[in-house]
Structures are given as structure tokens and as C-alpha cells.
A and B are shown apart, each in its own frame.
Chain A
Amino acid sequence: MSQKEEADRFLAQMESFANAMKESVGVPVLMDQKTGSLLWYSQRELKLRYVISVERVRKFFESLPEGKILATRCRVTGKVFFPPQRDCPDHPGEELEWVELPNQGELLTFTMITVKPYSFSHYDDYIVGIARLENGVNVLAWVREKDPKKLRVGMKVRLVVTRREPEGYFTYEIVPADQDA
């Protein structure tokens, strides 16, 4: 059973218990399994999904499907910004230029997420790592590997564009250099 099925089953159990209580005692209450205290099962459910402004970094998302991972660079200092941002704090008003990130780097650190957030609970356990690219810029992403013991700090990695399933959208991931692209 995936963590999502487990979580959904738990919630469904609570709901059916509260519904039964509405039938029998007339209010949606239930006993806390851990403490025996009486809980009110809220009758209001809120679905939360954000719409987030990316207009000023739209080129980043337009370039991903072409296989390119872009950052921005200050024309004055040469400082590279990743995640890309429109403004350089040191040079207000100066327009930054878009540059492609190098795809070679080394792994700085990593972890495997086994207890997952609800909105990630449909995935198998996944490894998240941070890579330092050749230009000194760090990128955090999933690592294409299932066993954290096969990874080590300092190993050579590549940064590649990938399609995230089952959602089906372009993002990027870190690939150990000894794996095929």
C-alpha cells in the first residue's frame, strides 16, 4: 500500500466514524485513538492549490522543454543567480541576462525521503541531492538512483532535463555520471 493509500484510508475511516456519530448522537465527533479525547470532525474541507507568478522568469520554463536549464547573470558583476531571478540586489534597474547552466558537477549532499509529504505520497521513495556545478552554482533536485548507499559526497554528476511522471511536465534532475543519460 502506498503512503497515499494509507493516508487516504485513515482519513476515510475518520470520516465514516464521524458520519456514524452524526447518525447516532447527532454531532460529528470522534474519539482520538491516542488519548480517548473527544474531537470535532470539521465539516468544512478546503482544497488548496496555488497559482504562482512566473512571468518574470518565463524564459526558464520556455527553455526546459528544449532541454536547457537557464540561470540569470548580472552584466556588471557576472554573478549568476539560480534559481533565476529578474533583479540583481547590487544593481537595481540593471537587466540580467539569461545563461545556460553547465551540466557537469559534483554531489555535495543527499538524502532519501521515506516519510513523504501528502502531495508526494503517490511516489516511490525518492532521493534528493544538491549538486555543485562547474561554475560554482548549486542546484537541488531529485537524484536518479534508488539506493542512497550507491551515492557518495563528491561523486561526479550531471544535471539533465527530465519529464516528471505521472504528472507529465518538464523539470530537471541530477544523474550520477556513471549512468547513461
Chain B
Amino acid sequence: MPRRVAIVGTGHSKFGVRSDASIPELAWEAISEAMKEAGIEGRDIDLVVMGNVGGWSSEPLPAIVSLEYAGLEGKPVYRVEAACATGSAAIKAARDAIASGDADIALVFGVEKMNESPTPTVVEFIGRAGNYFWEFENFGLTFPGYYALYATAYMSKYGATEEDMCMVSVKNHYYASHNPKAQFPRKIDVESCMGSRYVAWPLKLLDSSPITDGAAAVVLASEDVASKLTDSPVWIEAIGAASDTSNLSKRAQFTSLRAARLAVEQAYKRAGIERERAASEFDLAEVHDCFTIAEIMAYEDLGFARPGEGYMLAREEQTYIGGLIPVNLSGGLKAKGHPLAATGVSMAVDIVRQLHGRVEKGRQAPIKRGRAIAHNIGGTGHYAYVTIYSSSKPR
């Protein structure tokens, strides 16, 4: 019987252009805050799981470099990679280790320093993340380019507009304006989004998540240990994970992410949630809005809207607080920023703080069910992790 696992501490650096801090310094900001919040010391940690995608940053062994800086050298550690879903994969790896009895307390952190290379180099690295040989080498896709292929197909099939996509960006910037950790803590309007330049037609600059430096950390503990450390653990109720083809050409359609649908199905099954009622089961959702079209597809893949109707939720402002379900109250990847490997951990940090009712006024969801969901996608639907968090102990 697997053991129950809870988050007992959270840490989050300021996201943005963090030229003031190196990789281990940035990691330390999140690690030290999470350990302090959990009330633990280095000697209490049984396992460290670290997430970093890298390539653009100088340290090839960022896990080791960060642990030495944090005084945690000697601990068992590995680095995981699931592209932009790396942080959620790291949480799953640590959750599994605790559930199996291999560890009682695990530290998970994700850190990314994307600004150590010039922008065209970063654009190149992310563009290579798919199938390098068959789709990048000759055709030079970019990350916005991959999602633009989905946007074109979605808009053509369902009649969504560029304005609908901009509505997502406007919402996420609105909530980021209440989040001091966000890279862009300021509002935008539909006009400025529509007026921003194309990066990969039909996606524009303000449809896109930025190049971000940042770190986030959580401390996970087994049930016995968690009850000693805190009165308000947030439990990992269920995780669903899946993947899809590296070549986009091998996909059957471009209006929905298959990996996301598979991961959602698994997570809902494990938590006993009916897909049709999903929106009413959670106080909030953090979803993977690397591009605005991705958030619209997420609404559908999560069952918040029927296929082809996700853009209507954006158009009708149903994903603000007070609507059908509040989505990305952190500002999302779009406006909070997207330091790849930190993103999944950042979602967990923000969800824990939301469920505790301790985020900034203006972006705090009313907490009634004590349950929230994180939807974290790696690459262009290449990886998907869906994690359900709950303040009540799972069955």
C-alpha cells in the first residue's frame, strides 16, 4: 500500500531577468524558503530531486552545484528532465520515493537560468525540443511555431479568433499584477496584445510566455512526518502522466493535446473525479499557458469546456475569480514567467499557498473544496503531468 505524501514547505524566487543571481544562488532563494517554511534542517532530508532543462546555462551539473552551495552535499540526488514539465516530473519522482517508503522527507527544486545565453540561442534550443533531426534540422521550428501549428488548426476548425487568445493573456497579466514574484506584474489590454508583433503567425509576442530565470522548491513528507511538521499539509492526491510523439507530423490532430487528455484521464480516475463535473471539483487550476492557445486547449483537455468551446470560456471571462473556475491566478506562464524546470514546482507552490488562503489580495481564490489542479505540459504536448492537490487527506 503506497504511503500518503504531503507538501509541508514551499519556496519561490522572484521570476524574471535575474542577472543578479547565479544558478546556485537562485536555487538557494527557493530552497532556503521551503526548508524554513517546513521547519527542517539539511540533516532531515533523505532525498533531493532536482529539475533543470539547461543547455542555455553554463553548469552541466546544476544539481550538484546547487547542493554544494546549499550545504546539502552528500545527499542522494538526481536531476530529472521532462522539458517544460520537468518540475512536475521532479515532484512525481519524490512523491514516488516517499510513497514507496524509500524516503520520509524529500526536497524538490527546479531552477532555470535562461538568460545566460543570448535570445537567438535560447530560441534555437527550445526550437530543437521536438524531433531535432526530422523537424528542426531542415525546417527551423521554434517553440511558438509548434504551438502556432495548433493555433491555426484550432482557429480554422472552431472559429476562435486572435482576440479570443489575447483574452487569456489579458487575464493572466491581470492576476500577475497582484503577484510580486511575477516577471510582468502589470496589466495589459486586448489592444496592446493585438498590436504586438507576430513571433510565429498567428501567435504574437503577447500570446507568448517570456524567457525567464527563476527557481521554486517544495518539501515533501510522508504522512507520519508531515503531521509532526505542520497543521496544514497539502496532500498530493493523484498524479497522471503521459507522453506523445516527438515528430508533430505523427499526431492525428492539432486541436487538442493527446498527452494532456491521457494524463487528465489517469488523474481523474485516481481521484474519483468525473470529467464532466471537473470544473466544480476544484477551487482553482494552474494550467500550462506557455502560449494563449495552450490555455484554451487546456480548458478542453481538463473537461472544463467541451471540445471546440474552450475559447468561449476566455471570451466570456469564465476563468476569472467568480467564473466557472479560476485559472492561473499566479499570472500563469504568460505573465508570472516560465523558467522551464521551475514552472511545475512553481504551480505546486502557488496552489499550496492558495489552499492555505495566504496569497496576495486580488488573486486569492475563495477556498471551499480545498482542492486544486496543476496541468503542466512539456514541449509541445510531448510530456504531460496533471497533479491534484488537496488539503483534506486523500482516501
Contact = CB atoms under 8 A, between A and B. Distances in A.
Nearest to A119: B124
Interface string B135-151: 11011111011001111
Interface string A99-140: 000000000111111111111110100101010000000111
B127 interface: yes
Given A34-B19, A117-B123, A108 B153 contact: yes
Contact of B142 (A37, A83, A117): A117
B198 A114 contact: yes
Nearest to A35: B19
A108 B157 CA distance: 10
Contacts of B128: 117
A118 B120 contact: yes
A153 B250 CA distance: 17
Given A114-B199, A141-B139, A142-B139, A109 B152 contact: yes
Given A83-B247, A113-B141, A139-B249, A108 B254 contact: yes
Nearest to A42: B58
B157 A153 contact: yes
B118 interface: yes
A126 B145 CA distance: 11
Contacts of A34: 17, 19
A130 B149 contact: yes
B200 interface: yes
B201 A114 contact: yes
A38 to B, nearest CB: 8
A140 B139 contact: yes
B20 A37 contact: yes
B197 interface: yes
A160 to B, nearest CB: 14
Contact of B248 (A126, A140, A152): A140
A152 B19 CA distance: 43
Interface stretch (A3-11, A16-24, A89-97): A3-11
Contacts of A148: 201-202
A109 B121 contact: no
B17 A117 contact: no
A130 B254 contact: yes
B19 A115 contact: no
A118 B125 CA distance: 9
Nearest to A4: B120
A130 B248 contact: yes
Given A111-B148, A115-B200, A128-B149, A10 B118 contact: yes
Given A117-B127, A152-B156, A171-B138, A111 B200 contact: yes
A34 to B, nearest CB: 5
B129 to A, nearest CB: 11
B156 to A, nearest CB: 4
B134 interface: yes
Given A32-B17, A119-B124, A128-B149, A113 B118 contact: no
Contacts of A1: none
A139 B254 CA distance: 14
Given A113-B200, A130-B249, A7 B118 contact: yes
A82 B150 CA distance: 20
Contacts of B203: 111
Given A115-B123, A118-B123, A153 B152 contact: yes
A39 interface: yes
A121 B142 contact: no
B199 to A, nearest CB: 4
A169 B124 CA distance: 21
Given A32-B17, A117-B142, A119-B140, A112 B201 contact: yes
A164 B138 CA distance: 9
Given A37-B19, A140-B247, A118 B149 contact: no
Interface in B194-253: 197-203, 247-251
B380 to A, nearest CB: 12
A32 B19 contact: yes
Given A108-B153, A109-B254, A115 B58 contact: no
A11 B118 contact: yes
A52 interface: yes
By Cβ-Cβ distance, the 5 closest A-B pairs, closest first, are A111-B148, A120-B140, A117-B124, A118-B120, A37-B19
Interface of B: 17-20, 58, 118-121, 123-124, 127-128, 131, 133-136, 138-142, 144-145, 148-153, 156-157, 197-203, 247-251, 254
